Each structure stands twice: as C-alpha cells, then as structure tokens.
Amino acid sequence: MALGAGLADVRRFNYAQTGYFYNGMYSYCVGLERVLKIVSIYDYRLNHRDRFPTNSTLKAFGHGIKDLLTYAESVAATRHLEVHPTYRADPLYEKIIPWVTDFAQSTRYYNLDTLTGRLHSTDEPLVRWEKEVCSVIVERHHRPSAARLQELEMVKAMLEPFAHVRHTSGSGMQLNDVSSAVDESATSKVKQKFSMYYLYQLSRFACEVLRELEYEGNFFPTLREFFPLFMSDEKAWVLSRKTWDPYKL
C-alpha cells in the first residue's frame, strides 16, 4: 500500500500541487525500504537455517536505501537469481538513488530543519528532484507537437494582457508572467509519468528479488502475492497507470 500510494501521488504532482510530491515520496520510500528489508531477512534466513536476524542486525541498515539496494543486488548475483538491476545501465539512477536515500534518512525534514537553523548540503527535495531528475526527463521525453506548441502560444497571447502570475516553479524559480507559467505547466505531465516510471523500476527489482528468495526458501506466508502490481516489465502499461492501489488489481 505504501508503494502504491507513493507512486500514485508522484503521478499527480505539479509545481502548484507539491503536496502530492512530498506525500508520495514519503510513502514510496517507506514502502521501498520495507521491501528491501524483507529481502535482507529472507537472505539471512537462507544463510542461518531459517533463523531470523536480531533487531540490531536489521537496524544496522538504518534508512539507507542505497545500501539496501546494493545488498539486494549482491544477493541476486550471489544466488544467481533470474533478476537483474537493469536500472544500473541508466546514469539517471546515479541521481535518483542518492535522492531517495537522502529523503528517507533526513531531507524529508528539510523545511523544518531550515526553520530551526540546521543546514543541508543539498537543495530542498523538490527543487533538487526538478534540477537533477526532471531536467533529464524533460530532455529525454518531452516532445510536443507543432500543434501543441501553437496552442500554448495562443494561450499566452490570450491571457497575457490581463492575467497576473505570482508563483514558484518546482525548481524554485519565480513565475512572474503568463509565459513562464504556461511553459512550466506544459511539462507537468511528462514529469509526472516518468518520475513515477523510474521509481517503479527500483520497486520492481526489490519485489522480484523478494519473490525469488521466497521461492528458494519455500517461505510462508507467501508475501509475493501482495506485490504482482509492482513486477511488470511492460513499459507502456506502467506509464499508462494513474493509480497503484494494490486492492484494485
């Protein structure tokens, strides 16, 4: 449910509705971390005659999603599982994985920390996501048609004489005119879809490793039955989904 709620909200965020982004990322990071920790528990059980790890052993990972992913990758390789971290071939994940790790560990409190004087070495989470991830998404995937570009110019021309804009873009820039607001809105859908899609690939890998370890250990209950929604390799289907409620398969 945490993964589903997270992906669904990320699929809805834009610069004017940022709550979907923060709420979505919080839920997603909680869900991803928990799946990866189940992976670590399964691996421990396989290595220790079905004994469970101590709480302190599990806590050693903290909220380190990057370390948990690396651990899951090593488990998949060592046990020759038919699961591969294909996202490693994409340099964008060199930005995404540190981002979700930092958010899980500390930057989800960024705004409160700012109020109390604590300094961070990175930008505010949404600003950082926009600069490091969405900039690449727009460059890769935003391909407006000539008709769409013409339509946007018509909207600007119609609203510019009497509309006033006072807003902030996702990257923290001031939007002080109709033209900048229209341009920012024009990329919202592609940012939503592909932010969700790239995050989905991380959760897909984690859920597939969980499934394969469960088969190997013949573990019960069969937790894999909770995660079929998050193990699809059909790109078009993943991109088309706007809701990820696991109760509504």
Q: Note the pLDDT tens digit of each residue in 121-169.
A: 899 999 999 999 999 999 999 999 999 999 999 999 999 998 989 999 9
Rg, C-alpha atoms of the chain: 20
> Which pLDDT band holds residue 89 (cuts at 50, 70, 90)?
very high
Same domain, 57 and 26: yes
Same domain, 40 and 76: yes
Region 42-50 average pLDDT:
97
Concatenated DSSP letters for 40-96? HHHHHHHHTTTPPPPHHHHHTTTT-HHHHHHHHHHHHHHTT-S---GGGGSTTHHHH
Does residue 248 fall inside a structural domain? no
Same domain, 84 and 193: yes
Does residue 133 fall inside a structural domain? no
The predicted pLDDT at position 155 comes to 92
Same domain, 148 and 218: no
Same domain, 35 and 151: no
Chain segment 48-68, per-residue pLDDT in tens: 999 999 999 999 998 899 999
CA 138 vs. chain centroid, Å, equals 16
Does residue 249 fall inside a structural domain? no
Does residue 168 fall inside a structural domain? yes
Tokens of 28: 């997603």
Asked if residue 119 lies in contact with residue 125, where contact means CB atoms within 8 angstroms, the answer is no
User: CA-based angle 246:247:249, to the nearest 5?
Assistant: 70
Same domain, 43 and 156: no
Same domain, 192 and 84: yes
Tokens of 125: 């989470």
> Which pLDDT band holds residue 248 (cuts at 50, 70, 90)?
confident
DSSP one-letter code for 51:
P
Domain boundary pick from 171, 186, 201: 186
Same domain, 200 and 169: no
Same domain, 155 and 213: no
Number of folded domains that form the chain: 2
Does residue 104 fall inside a structural domain? no
Look up the pTM and report it: 0.95
Region 197-201 average pLDDT:
98
Same domain, 176 and 199: no
Same domain, 26 and 51: yes
Domain limits at 205?
A: 2-90+188-240
Does residue 158 fall inside a structural domain? yes
Which residues on adjacent β-strands are paired with residue 174? 168
Same domain, 160 and 236: no
Does residue 247 fall inside a structural domain? no
